Structure 1
Amino acid sequence: MNYYQQNQPQTNTVPENHDLVMKGRKLLEITGVKEVESFDNEEFLLDTVMGALAVRGENLQMQNLDVDKGIVSIKGRILDIVYLDEQHAEKAKGFFSKLFK
């Protein structure tokens, strides 16, 4: 690393890669997360580098959140993992924004 690279401000960029690793339907680790749109104990709505992702289950809790690296870990009973197209993602976001006003 040269002097120029060392003195450049660090930017928070989410890695381009996106992986899902599930351990026994009890722990889900997700990389490539740009933003956590909303979450509760039954559903997480995430914006990833591959599109909107909904994780549904029971007793869901955020185990780990690293915004700089784009990593989210969800603990609980995972029932459903689905990518939402733009139309479904907007409906889900609209529903949650009304719910939390």
Structure 2
Amino acid sequence: MEEKSVNTSHRLTLDNRKEAFVTGVKDVVSFDEKEILLQTADGRLQIRGSQLHVKGLNLEKGEAALAGHVDSLVYLSKDSVRKEEPLLKRMFR
């Protein structure tokens, strides 16, 4: 059986606030044209802007290519991630 090599290091490259390349991506949590939320090797990364879209995604390699106008990049703490979860889910842990 062949093992999948997932990129455990994390890198973010942003060109002119229009194109981004991210490594160390474990999952795409959610996305729309105003926000992309990625689970990376270093935690959740929130990318906000306009006309955002995922140009390419390879979870086996842990890579994502993004395009659009980027306004902000934020790494979310565990506390802020918990606040995003539905209240009922937090209540019944």
What's the TM-score bracket when you normalise by the shorter of the two chains?
A: 0.7 to 0.9
Aligned equivalents of 2:30 and 2:3: distance in 1?
24
Shift in CA distance, 11/21, structure 1 to aligned 2, threshold 3 Å: same
Shift in CA distance, 59/18, structure 1 to aligned 2, threshold 3 Å: same
Asked if structure 2 preserves the Cα contact closer than 8 Å seen for 1:37 and 1:46, the reply is: yes
Q: 1:55 aligns with which of 25, 47, 51?
A: 47
Q: Which structure 1 segments of 5+ residues have no match?
A: 1-8, 96-101
For this pair of structures, how many residues does the alignment match?
87
Higher helix share: 1
Q: Computing the radius of gyration over CA atoms, which structure comes out larger, 1 or 2? A: 1
Structure 1 runs of 4+ with >4 Å offset: none
Show the counterpart of 1:69.
Answer: 61
SS of match in other structure, 1:41: coil
Higher strand share: 2
Q: TM-score, normalised by structure 2?
A: 0.86
Q: TM-score, normalised by structure 1?
A: 0.79
Asked if structure 2 preserves the Cα contact closer than 8 Å seen for 1:14 and 1:70, the reply is: yes
Letter in 2 for 1:32: G
- Measured after TM superposition, the shift of residue 67 of structure 1 is 1.1
Identity %, equivalent residues: 34
Aligned equivalents of 1:76 and 1:28: distance in 2?
9
Aligned equivalents of 1:94 and 1:43: distance in 2?
18
Aligned equivalents of 1:67 and 1:11: distance in 2?
14
SS of match in other structure, 2:27: strand
Q: Which structure 2 segments of 5+ residues have no match?
A: 88-93
Alignment RMSD, CA only? 1.5
